[in-house]
Amino acid sequence: MPELAPPDPTVEAAARTLAEKAPVPARVGPTLFGTAGWTDPTLISCGRFYPPGATSAADRLVHYASHFPLVEVDSTYYAIPPSSAAVRWVERTPPGFLFDVKAHPVFSGHPIDRERLPKDLAGAMAHVRPDRRRLYPKDVPSEVRDALMGQFRALLDPLRQAGKLGCVMVQLPPWTTATRGAAREIEALKDSLPNTRVAIEFRHPSWLEGSRQDRVFDLLGRNGFAFVCVDEPDVHGGGVPPVVRATRSDLAILRLHGHNVGGWRPGASVLERFNYLYGPEELQAWSSPVKKLADASDEVHVVFNNCVRDFAVLNAKGMAALVLAANE
């Protein structure tokens, strides 16, 4: 694990003070606040969020759900757990709690790691490009793709039946540019993820450039997809601008990735990328945009993805505190 630079002590102190003012759980009207996971190793090891007795995944989810009404399940991007896992998530969270589930690469177009495939599907892949551990979905046999999609949909069923499925968040690869072919692939998600609120996060700025932006929003709205607003560094040639827009009347999403520019350089680790703690002033700048989303949608999900130590927890609570104060 790389040595991570600590946050500025003054910023950290202010962030902790602000977080103490958050409502519990962190919800203000239609706006739900949460983080992109509850089992991150540095969140556990920092010892600042989970009590000493919360030593299992079950204990931690119960504790997390006592503070937040929403969580993003990030692990489903890497491997699809059995539907029994979703049953346990339902059992360990209170009524009204929501799970935003990150889509597996078979939906998003990222490479699929053959070593993370279920055993029954790994065998069917044994003779497909055996020299490569990671394969793009287009290189995977159609029967394997169909099986993966079916397993992912089965995972969603217990959440949906319990009223705890927030959405499926499809984060497109950073190399997926705005082309007609890519637009058709996005439209196809309507059939591969039926009866599901689907949210789309773009990672290439071409989707939001100039006059194309309105056409992209029309594409999303026409197919019933929610646009994921993002806050991330303005990295030359790769940063997505912080456009605030709701394309569904019942769901708007804001994901905040931090501003660690150095962590977005090629070769940087995931921990380096998200090693960023927002200060209160930075969060305050998002208070009005969050209100704009709440005015346009019945439900707003604000998810912090700076999951290093307890940074995401502090910032999700801090953002909730600021939105609460603005509404009083």
Percent of the chain with pLDDT over 90: 86
Q: Taking 60 as the threshold, does the pLDDT of residue 9 lie above it?
A: yes
pLDDT, position 2: 61
Q: What is the pTM of this model?
A: 0.96
What is the rounded CA–CA span in Å between residue 198 and residue 47? 34
Are residues 313 and 34 in contact, defined by beta-carbon separation less than 8 angstroms? no
What is the rounded CA–CA span in Å between residue 224 and residue 170? 13
Q: Taking 60 as the threshold, does the pLDDT of residue 245 lie above it?
A: yes
Mean pLDDT of 128-149: 92
What is the rounded CA–CA span in Å between residue 227 and residue 149? 22
CATH topology of domain 9-327: TIM Barrel (3.20.20)
Q: Taking 80 as the threshold, does the pLDDT of residue 26 lie above it?
A: yes
Q: Taking 80 as the threshold, does the pLDDT of residue 179 lie above it?
A: yes
Q: Taking 70 as the threshold, does the pLDDT of residue 66 lie above it?
A: yes
pLDDT, position 5: 85
Residue pLDDT, tens place only, 28-62? 999 999 999 999 999 999 999 999 999 999 999 99
Average predicted confidence (pLDDT) for the chain: 95
pLDDT, position 237: 60
pLDDT, position 1: 53
Are residues 28 and 327 in contact, defined by beta-carbon separation less than 8 angstroms? yes
Residue pLDDT, tens place only, 94-137? 999 999 999 999 999 999 999 999 888 888 888 888 889 999 99
pLDDT, position 239: 81
